[in-house]
Amino acid sequence: MSLHREVSPHDRRLANTDMQMLLPFDLLLVIRDGDPDARALYDRHYSARHYRDGRKPKRLIGPGQYLLLTTTDRKALIAFRRSNRQIAGRTGIYLSVFRNESSLKASTLLTAACMMAWDRWPGQEIFTFVNPQKVKSPLPGYCFLRAGFREKGKTQRGLLIFVAQAQSTR
């Protein structure tokens, strides 16, 4: 008695239509600078640079090492840039843009993104700035605090400084 049987054309059709291959699901996807969806999200961020002459560059991060992340539905954007020069007295990994229009918790996205940044640049400090005048929240930077960042003061221009160490979100 054979354990193998021939698959009929009807069974083959069912196999092709009724079953879907499961793909691995990641919360965040790595994308390239110049992605049009990323640019659209960035243009809605309060820190987006809008040129007076109407230029609309495709890129948003600039030269150097970067990590640009989005959700699978393209409704959140997180941009990291490795900084060798000081930015407001800090060096390390600069979280330059965070925009969340998705239904996911901002702190969940930030935690996952920081893990990916530390995988790429182990042991580096991650820092970001929040303009309390431009965010809607009564607690500016709250999502960063929930993701393990610590408030470290203000810049000369009044931006709040938030810093995360590699072990603070693990």
Task: Evaluate whether 90 touches 99 at the Cβ level (below 8 Å).
Answer: no
Count of domains in the chain?
A: 1
Residues 66 and 58: their CA atoms lie apart, in Å, by 15
51 falls within a domain: yes
User: For position 114, what pLDDT does the model report?
Assistant: 96
User: For position 141, what pLDDT does the model report?
Assistant: 93
User: For position 50, what pLDDT does the model report?
Assistant: 65
User: For position 136, what pLDDT does the model report?
Assistant: 83
- Strands 90-100 and 126-130, how do they pair? parallel
User: For position 9, what pLDDT does the model report?
Assistant: 53
Mean pLDDT of the chain: 81
Terminal CA-to-CA distance of the chain, rounded, Å? 56
139 falls within a domain: yes
User: For position 54, what pLDDT does the model report?
Assistant: 75
3 falls within a domain: no
Indicate the pLDDT class of residue 77, thresholds 50, 70 and 90.
very high
Indicate the pLDDT class of residue 156, thresholds 50, 70 and 90.
very high
Asked whether residue 139 carries a pLDDT value surpassing 80, the answer given is yes
Average pLDDT over residues 99-116: 93
4 falls within a domain: no
Residues 6 and 114: their CA atoms lie apart, in Å, by 51
| 78 to 17, 61, 81, 100: CA distances (angstroms) | 36, 11, 10, 8
Which of 7-16, 71-80, 89-98 is the least confident region?
7-16
pTM of the model: 0.77
Which residue range is the domain that position 165 belongs to? Answer: 23-169
13 falls within a domain: no
Average pLDDT over residues 36-59: 74
18 falls within a domain: no
Tens of pLDDT, residues 11-29: 444 444 444 444 446 789 9
Joined tokens for residue 5: 């049987």
User: For position 134, what pLDDT does the model report?
Assistant: 85
Which of 14-23, 48-57, 64-73, 86-95 is the least confident region?
14-23
Q: Is 165 exposed, middle or buried (0-12, 13-18, 19+ CB in 10 A)?
A: middle
| 168 to 39, 100, 118: CA distances (angstroms) | 30, 22, 12
CATH number of 58's domain: 3.40.630.30
8 falls within a domain: no
Q: Is 102 exposed, middle or buried (0-12, 13-18, 19+ CB in 10 A)?
A: middle
1 falls within a domain: no
